[in-house]
């Protein structure tokens, strides 16, 4: 029922089954532009996360999602025209591949930074939870003088809001 309209601005090949070399070149150009724009957003996000400005990084999510969608569309259409591109302009294909390798390397840096931030925040939450649990456990001993294991009613869960 709630279907979003599909945009096909990045899909010149979707209009017809036949594509001319200028269509392939235009699509390759568009892919390069989308990759460059996405790299700018990813680099901004990386810098924000490194600086601990998570909110600012999260504000780039909508722009990053739209550029990612356009990137995926362009890649899929270019894949369908790869044979034509390799026959008509192998130099352009080689340039696209080099640009894509740079793009992938920058995405890997971004993913590493995001994974590190996630691991740090998870470590903080686990540390807070351990401290809360430690404080809630009563210091009792058994008849043998051993420390009593806490029961499930002594474990108090913590609630974490995932929104900033």
pLDDT digits (tens, 9 = 90+) for 44-84: 999 999 998 988 988 999 999 999 999 999 989 888 888 88
17-52 pLDDT, tens digit per residue, is 445 567 777 888 899 999 999 999 999 999 999 998
pTM flag (> 0.85): no
Q: What does the H/E/C string look like for the chain?
A: CCCCCCCCCCCHHHCCCCCCHHHHHHHHHHHHHHHHHHHHHHHHHHHHHHCCCHHHHHCCHHHHHHHHHHHHHHHHHHHHCHHHHHHHCHHHHHHHHHHHHHHHHHHHHHHHHHHHHHHHHHHHHHHHHHHHHHHHCCCCECCCCCECCCCHHHCCCCCCCCCC
84-137 tens-digit pLDDT: 878 887 888 888 889 999 999 999 999 999 899 889 988 988 888 888 877 777
């Amino acid at each position: 029922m709630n279907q979003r309209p599909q945009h096909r601005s990045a899909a010149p090949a979707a209009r017809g089954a036949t594509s001319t070399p200028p269509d392939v070149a235009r699509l390759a150009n568009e892919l390069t532009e989308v990759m460059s724009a996405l790299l700018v957003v990813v680099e901004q996000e990386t810098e924000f996360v490194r600086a601990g400005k998570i909110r600012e990084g999260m504000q780039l999510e909508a722009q990053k999602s739209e550029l990612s969608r356009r990137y995926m569309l362009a890649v899929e259409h270019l894949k369908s025209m790869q044979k034509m591109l390799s026959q008509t302009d192998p130099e352009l294909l080689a340039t696209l591949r080099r640009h894509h390798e740079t793009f992938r390397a920058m995405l890997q840096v971004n993913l590493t930074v995001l994974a590190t931030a996630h691991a740090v925040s998870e470590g903080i939450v686990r540390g807070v939870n351990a401290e809360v649990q430690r404080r809630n456990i009563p210091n009792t001993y058994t008849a043998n003088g051993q420390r009593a294991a806490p029961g499930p009613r002594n474990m108090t869960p913590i609630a974490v809001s995932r929104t900033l």
